[in-house]
Each structure stands twice: as structure tokens, then as C-alpha cells.
């Protein structure tokens, strides 16, 4: 660990202060040891761990509200209901995507304590061992699967299913893979739709093998999935329920302010000429934020730190607004470049998912479609309230992770991989880009270790159902796209959403994967195991047949999986990195980023499990790097 903060010279009255600023002068005795921007997954994990020491003062500034005891968040069956509601959701949108008919994709992001863990789909899984080790391999010493798994287990308390229920539904797990005393409660859903039950028999007809527990480091095959739902209460266990609520009134030195929108990382204008430490590193005195219509300031103590956990699109925005980023982005906007870090906001990678929906032959089977019918929803809510059982406890349980071999056969897969590898090695791409793509190529060449496309069985229609009909939607979810893009500010105004440009469908390999996965889904749906259950394909429907038609369908009707990474990558600085393996922003003394932005590669899993591991590890890194 680098020794940091050797010298932290007191600031003169900094230029950022408003003119009549005596009252605002940074009184460091009133400052915090840590200011955390964003009370989402990462922010609240850090807040909890850093404030374990009662002598450490922590301030969390969260733009949204508290959301305690809100049934729209708590009840699993209400999943999706708050998307688009600005009390819970930032409602971003991508810039028009030229390779997808210039479509602008909706992009939901959680707002309020818990961040996106308060509005997400509660899918609880983890990447494979090889993927986590690859993060270290890019030049991040200290990051490896063994350590990561230890921290992932630390975050979790897994409730074993009742043996009878497990046997009846093939719920299998490996106890040692799970935590038994961490803050996040996880479990198998206790309501499994009959529409999902033929999953394993049907998919195994296609040669896919059973995974005993995808959280144990090997996840290629078929499995029954888990959720971050507390089995006892049958409530969603967001980062707020897990890491904040139990200590909300217990730690006098932990301050959490909601409705506090951070508008600026403070950087003194003097610092460019007079660096604040021996190494010439930039020191961040604190942040500016808005609360109740007022502009306010919060400062860190000497040796204190500011930690950005504002999530994808926001942490990098605050860096760029502070003059930390690519001069080609900052200068045209009239922003003084404080640290030339061209990696900020570049190299983002997003995953897409899309649905192929089948009508069920038996419309009496209970699926999530039922809650569109008011009387059925009222009955389901009554049962949930009285007994914590029934439809409102539903979760997705039917999953598979398939490989390129599964999609196109081994010979064609090898051919496709060779063509892609040649394109990468001959192309005029940066070394870092090549290195990152070669990690994907390695994964493709080792399909028993790393999967490519998740296909799950969602017990409802994906888009618009006919009332009274029931559906099973196969969700395709491509894990390792080669297409890669940017997110950059387009204005000095913090209220203007940065331009998010993931370059969906830019790489032709990706398009082939979307087409071939759709074909595999159709084979799954027609496997014998589903013969008695699934009727007609409704979406896209059998009129969509050619590769071009399939691709057009996916382009028009896919959605982000909300797993975007890479806007402040953890990589060596000379490789375009923004943060070090200690998650410190290069060129700064006391500024870190801890959230989804720092991951330089995608994973074959939904992010929560993995990211709690990052935040837990970050807390230990921060605790051991500083003597407050």
C-alpha cells in the first residue's frame, strides 16, 4: 500500500467559496474522516464498514430519499413497478445508437438509499473464478478470485431452503460457497411458477449440464437461482436494509443525509500552481451539495477522504466536472484540466437482454402476469400480508449460462473465435483495448470455465401481455460484448445527464451472438420437456425467421441489463486507468471511486454479488491505508 497524505497543507481561503464565505470556511475540526457520495450498493457498504470504528466519522450524501418500509420496494412481486418513477429512478437514456436503428435506450438507475439495489430484479449470483482472476491479470495486484470470494461471502447470510421444498424443485447449493453471517440476506424464492418447472428436464435434452451452485465459482450450465430476499420476512434485502438500517441510529459518528445532491467535488483553483503534497498530488477538501434548495458544503478532516459511490454515469460525471478527465472533453466545455486522465468515461461496456415469449397452454398456471389483474393482485397481496407466501414472493429461478459451443457447435465456434482474434490482433486498437478483448477471447476458448449468454425463464410476458393469458419469456442476456463505448459530460451543469453511448451492436461478433442465441432459445422452447406447457411463440413470432429479421427484432426490443462497467476503470495509469488497485484516483491524494464504474471488464453474472465483494474489500483497503 502506498503511504498517502504525507503532507496535507491547510488551504488558504479557497477560490471556490462564495464571496461572503466566512461562515463556509473549511473548519477542519468540524470535518469528516470520510465523505461518501451516493448511498447505493457501494456507498452504504463502505459507510457501515468504515464507521465500525466509533472514532471514525462518516458522512453519506444521497440524492434520493430514504424509502424505508415502502412496499413497492420491499415486496418481491412488485419488482419493476417503480421503474420510470422519478422518486426512485434517475431515468437516464442513451444517445441514439447508430447500429440499432438510432434507437435511444431507456436506462433506469436507482435513486435513494439502496441505490439500484432498491429497484433491481434481485438476481443473486456470482462470476466464475477465471473472470475474477482476469481483473488482477490486467495489472491490478491484490485482485484475485480467492480474495474476492472471501469478501463476497463476508457480505452474505444465505438461508438454506427447506429440504422438502428443495427436493421437489431441484434447489441445490454448496453451503461452503455462502456466507452465514453477512449483512445481505439471500435465499431461494419460495414461490416457483409451474411455468418454470420443466426448465431443467427441457434444457438437459439439449445437452446442458446441471450446476450445483453457480455461486461457487463455476457457473456454466443449468441452475435454479437465488435472490437477495430475506427468507424470514420475504422482503427485498437492499444495501440499505443490509448495511444501513440495522445501524441507522446506533452510530453517532455515522451521518446519512438523504435528498442531498452532490453537485461538485471541491478542487481549489490554487492547487494547479501549488500542489498540496510532496508528490504533487491534488487534495480534495470536500464536496458541494444541494439540500432543501440550498447550496451547502461538507469538508474532510486532515487525512480525510472523499469517496465517489454515485454509480455508473454519476461518479465519472463528478470527476469530469472537477477537471479530472480527458482534455478533449473538458476544454471545449471551458473546464480547467486539473488532472489529465483520458480514461475517465471511456471503455464502458454494457450488456443487453431481450425476450422471446411463449403463451402457456394452461392459463390457470400462476405467473407474474396475474398481478396485472386487480382482483388477483389484491388476493396475492392479502396472502403476502397475512402469511408471507404466494405470488408476491415470486422470483426468477430458472437459469442457464451457455457457451459459444452450445450456440453454434464446436467447429463453428472455433472458426468465429479465430476470425475475431485475428481482427483484434491486426486492427488499429489501443494495447489496452486489445488486452481486454483477449480476456474475452480466452474465455471463449475455455468454455467449461467461462460462459457467454445467460438464458433465463421469466414467468411473465416481457412487454405487453394480453390480460388473462399467461406466458413464459426466455430472456437472453449476452455477458461479454465486444462493443465498447463512452459516457461523457456534455455540459458544465450537473443536472444535465452525461451522454451515454454504449455502441450497442457495433461489433459484428455481438450481432452473431444475438442471432444464434435467439435460435437456441427457440430450440429450448421446443424441447420435449416444454411440449405440454408452451404454446405459440408470441414475440417475436414465427414470421421473424431470417438472421436479418432476428437481429432487427433484437435491436428494436432489447433493453440494457443495467450492468454497465468501465467509466472509471481500475487499471494502471499508462493503460488508461482512472483508479489504482487501491481505488484511488490517479493524481489525487484523497479521492477514491468505489462502485460499478471501476470494473474494467464485464462478468458472466449479475453484478450485486460481485460488487458487494468489491465494496467490502475497498473498506479494508481504506481502513488499512490510513491512520485516522
Residues within the interface to ligand NAG (CB under 6 A) = 54-55, 57, 85, 87, 98, 101-102, 159-160, 162, 170, 190, 194, 197, 200-201, 210, 231, 252-253, 362, 364-365, 382-383, 386-389, 428, 552-553, 556
- CB atoms closer than 10 angstroms to residue 152: 28
- Kindly state whether residue 76 participates in binding ligand FAD, applying the rule CB under 6 A: no
491 contacts which partner out of ligand FAD, ligand NAG, none, CB within 5 to 8 A by kind? Answer: none
Q: Indicate the DSSP class of residue 514.
A: H
| Three-state DSSP class for residue 319 | helix
Q: Which is nearer to ligand NAG, 64 or 325 (CB)?
A: 64
- Please say if 606 is a catalytic residue: yes
Applying the rule CB under 6 A, the residues between 209 and 268 that interact with ligand FAD are 261-262
Length of the chain: 628
Q: How many CB atoms lie within 10 A of CB 422?
A: 10
Annotated binding residues for FAD, as ranges? 120-123, 262
Contact 544, 550 (CB under 8 A): yes
Dihedral sign, Cα of residue 358, residue 359, residue 361, residue 362 = positive
How far CA 407 is from CA of 130, 451, 472, 508, 528, in Å, comes to: 21, 11, 21, 16, 19
Task: Specify whether the CB–CB gap between 451 and 131 falls below 8 A.
Answer: no
Is residue 308 near ligand FAD by the rule CB under 6 A?
Answer: no
Residue 122 is a binding residue for ligand FAD (CB under 6 A): yes
Which residue lies nearer to ligand NAG by CB, 362 or 446?
Answer: 362
| Residue 478 is a binding residue for ligand FAD (CB under 6 A) | no
Please report how close the Cβ of residue 383 comes to ligand NAG at its closest, in angstroms: 4
Nearest to 619 by CA among 103, 65, 48: 48
Cα(355)–Cα(460) distance, rounded to whole angstroms? Answer: 11
Whether 609 and 124 have beta carbons less than 8 Å apart is answered as: yes
Give the Cα separation of 525 and 49 in Å (integer): 46
64 is an interface residue for ligand FAD by CB under 6 A: yes
Which region, judged by CB under 6 A, interacts with ligand FAD, from 114-122, 173-181, 373-381, 581-589?
Answer: 114-122
Instruction: Return the closest-CA partner of residue 107 out of 99, 98, 97.
Output: 97
List the x/- string, 587-626, binding to ligand FAD by CB under 6 A. Answer: --------xx---------xxx--x---------------
From residue 266, give the alpha-carbon distance in Å to each of 134, 291, 302, 323, 402.
35, 17, 15, 10, 47
Residues 6+ apart with CB under 8 A from 598: 568, 569, 570, 578, 579, 583, 614
User: Would you say 8 or 480 has its CB closer to ligand FAD?
Assistant: 480
Q: Which of 88, 92, 121, 143 binds ligand FAD (CB under 6 A)?
A: 121
To ligand FAD, the closest distance from the beta carbon of 236 in angstroms equals 10
Which range, of 33-41, 244-252, 322-330, 442-450, touches ligand FAD by CB under 6 A? 33-41
Q: Which does 261 bind (CB under 5 to 8 A by kind): ligand NAG, ligand FAD, none?
A: ligand FAD
Interaction with ligand FAD in 536-595: which residues (CB under 6 A)? 562-563, 595
Strand duo 184-186 + 58-61: pairing = unpaired
The option from ligand NAG, ligand FAD, none interacting with 382 (CB < 5 to 8 A, set by class) reads: ligand NAG
Catalytic (active site) residue 185: no
Whose CA is closest to 47, among 239, 228, 288? Answer: 239
Q: Which residues of 257-289 are buried (b: 16+ CB within 10 A; e: fewer)?
A: ebebbbbbbbbbeebeeebbbeeebbbbbbbbb
Residue placing its CB nearer to ligand NAG in the complex, 444 or 500: 500
Query: At its nearest, how many Å lie between ligand FAD and the CB of residue 364?
Result: 28
Identity of the residue, 115 or 529, whose beta carbon is nearer to ligand FAD in the bound complex = 115
- Which stretch in 32-40, 334-342, 477-485, 498-506 sits in contact with ligand FAD by CB under 6 A? 32-40
Residue 245: half-sphere exposure toward Cβ, Cα within 13 Å: 14
**CA angle in degrees (0–180, nearest 5) for 212-369-459:** 15
Helix boundaries (H) for 82-198: 129-137, 145-154, 163-169
Q: Smallest distance, Å, CB 74 to ligand NAG?
A: 12
Q: Which C-beta is closer to ligand FAD: that of 39 or that of 600?
A: 39
Paired strand residues for 286: 299
Taking the least distance from each CB to ligand NAG, the nearer of 575 and 617 is 575
Q: Is 341 in the site for ligand FAD (CB under 6 A)?
A: no
Min dist. Cβ of residue 231 to ligand FAD (A) = 18
DSSP 430: -
Q: Which does 54 bind (CB under 5 to 8 A by kind): ligand NAG, ligand FAD, none?
A: ligand NAG
Positions marked active-site: 563, 606
Which residues make up the interface to ligand FAD (CB under 6 A)? 37-43, 61-64, 83, 108-112, 115-117, 119-123, 261-262, 309-311, 314, 562-563, 595-596, 606-608, 611
Amino acid at each position: 500500500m502506498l503511504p498517502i497524505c504525507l503532507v496535507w497543507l491547510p488551504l488558504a481561503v479557497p477560490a471556490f467559496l462564495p464571496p461572503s464565505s466566512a461562515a463556509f470556511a473549511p473548519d477542519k475540526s468540524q470535518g469528516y474522516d470520510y465523505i461518501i457520495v451516493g448511498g447505493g450498493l457501494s456507498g452504504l457498504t463502505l459507510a457501515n464498514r468504515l464507521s465500525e470504528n466509533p472514532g471514525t466519522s462518516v458522512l453519506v450524501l444521497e440524492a434520493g430519499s430514504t424509502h424505508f418500509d415502502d412496499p413497492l420496494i420491499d415486496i418481491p412481486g412488485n419488482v419493476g413497478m417503480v421503474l420510470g418513477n422519478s422518486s426512485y429512478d434517475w431515468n437516464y437514456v442513451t444517445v441514439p445508437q447508430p447500429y440499432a436503428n438510432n434507437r435511444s435506450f431507456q436506462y433506469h438507475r436507482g435513486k435513494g438509499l439502496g441505490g439500484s439495489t432498491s429497484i433491481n430484479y434481485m438476481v443473486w449470483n456470482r462470476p466464475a473464478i477465471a473472470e475474477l482472476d482476469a481483473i488482477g491479470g490486467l495489472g491490478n495486484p491484490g485482485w484475485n478470485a480467492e480474495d474476492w470470494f472471501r469478501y463476497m461471502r463476508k457480505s452474505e447470510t444465505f438461508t438454506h431452503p427447506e429440504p422438502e421444498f428443495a427436493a421437489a424443485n431441484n434447489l441445490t447449493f454448496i453451503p461452503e460457497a455462502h456466507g452465514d453471517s453477512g449483512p445481505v440476506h439471500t435465499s431461494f424464492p419460495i414461490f416457483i411458477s409451474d411455468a418454470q418447472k420443466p426448465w431443467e428436464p427441457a434444457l438437459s435434452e439439449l445437452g446442458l449440464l446441471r450446476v450445483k451452485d453457480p455461486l461457487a465459482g463455476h457457473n456454466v450450465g443449468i441452475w435454479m437461482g437465488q435472490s437477495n430476499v430475506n427468507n424470514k420476512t420475504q422482503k427485498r434485502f437492499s444495501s440499505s436494509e443490509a448495511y444501513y438500517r440495522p445501524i441507522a441510529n446506533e452510530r453517532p459518528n455515522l451521518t446519512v443525509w438523504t435528498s442531498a445532491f452532490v453537485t461538485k467535488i471541491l478542487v481549489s483553483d490554487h492547487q494547479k500552481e501549488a500542489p498540496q503534497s510532496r508528490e504533487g498530488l491534488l487534495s480534495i477538501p470536500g464536496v458541494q451539495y444541494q439540500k432543501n434548495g440550498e447550496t451547502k458544503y461538507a469538508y474532510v478532516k486532515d487525512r480525510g477522504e472523499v469517496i465517489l459511490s454515485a454509480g455508473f454515469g454519476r461518479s465519472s460525471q463528478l470527476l469530469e466536472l472537477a477537471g479530472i478527465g480527458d482534455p478533449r472533453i473538458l476544454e471545449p466545455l471551458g473546464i480547467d484540466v486539473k488532472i489529465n486522465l483520458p480514461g475517465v468515461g471511456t471503455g464502458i461496456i454494457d450488456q443487453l437482454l431481450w425476450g422471446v415469449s411463449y403463451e402457456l397452454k394452461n392459463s390457470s398456471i400462476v405467473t407474474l402476469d396475474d398481478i396485472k389483474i386487480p382482483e388477483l393482485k389484491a388476493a396475492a397481496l392479502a396472502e403476502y400480508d397475512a402469511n408471507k407466501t404466494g405470488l408476491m414472493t415470486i422470483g426468477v429461478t430458472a437459469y442457464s449460462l451457455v457457451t459459444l459451443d452450445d450456440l453454434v457447435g464446436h467447429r463453428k465456434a472455433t472458426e468465429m473465435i479465430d476470425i475475431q482474434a485475428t481482427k483484434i490482433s491486426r486492427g488499429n486498437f489501443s494495447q489496452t483495448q486489445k488486452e481486454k478483448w483477449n480476456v474475452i477471447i480466452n474465455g471463449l476458448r475455455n468454455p467449461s470455465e467461462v460462459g457467454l449468454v445467460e438464458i433465463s425463464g421469466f414467468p411473465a410476458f416481457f412487454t405487453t401481455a394480453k390480460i388473462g393469458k399467461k406466458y413464459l419469456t426466455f430472456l437472453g442476456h449476452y455477458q461479454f460484448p465486444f462493443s465498447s463505448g463512452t459516457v461523457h459530460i456534455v455540459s458544465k451543469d450537473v443536472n444535465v445527464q452525461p451522454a451515454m453511448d454504449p455502441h450497442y451492436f457495433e461489433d459484428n461478433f455481438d450481432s452473431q451472438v444475438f442471432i444464434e442465441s435467439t435460435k437456441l432459445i427457440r430450440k429450448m422452447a421446443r424441447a420435449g420437456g416444454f411440449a405440454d406447457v408452451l404454446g405459440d411463440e408470441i414475440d417475436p413470432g414465427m414470421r421473424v425467421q431470417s438472421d436479418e429479421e432476428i437481429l432487427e427484432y433484437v435491436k428494436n426490443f432489447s433493453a440494457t441489463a443495467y450492468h454497465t462497467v468501465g467509466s472509471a476503470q481500475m487499471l494502471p495509469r499508462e493503460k488508461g486507468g482512472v483508479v489504482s488497485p487501491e481505488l484511488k484516483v490517479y493524481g489525487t491524494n484523497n479521492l477514491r471511486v468505489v462502485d460499478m464504474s471501476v470494473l474494467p471488464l464485464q462478468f458472466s453474472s449479475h453484478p450485486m454479488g460481485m460488487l458487494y465483494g468489491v465494496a467490502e474489500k475497498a473498506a479494508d483497503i481504506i481502513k488499512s491505508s490510513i491512520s485516522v
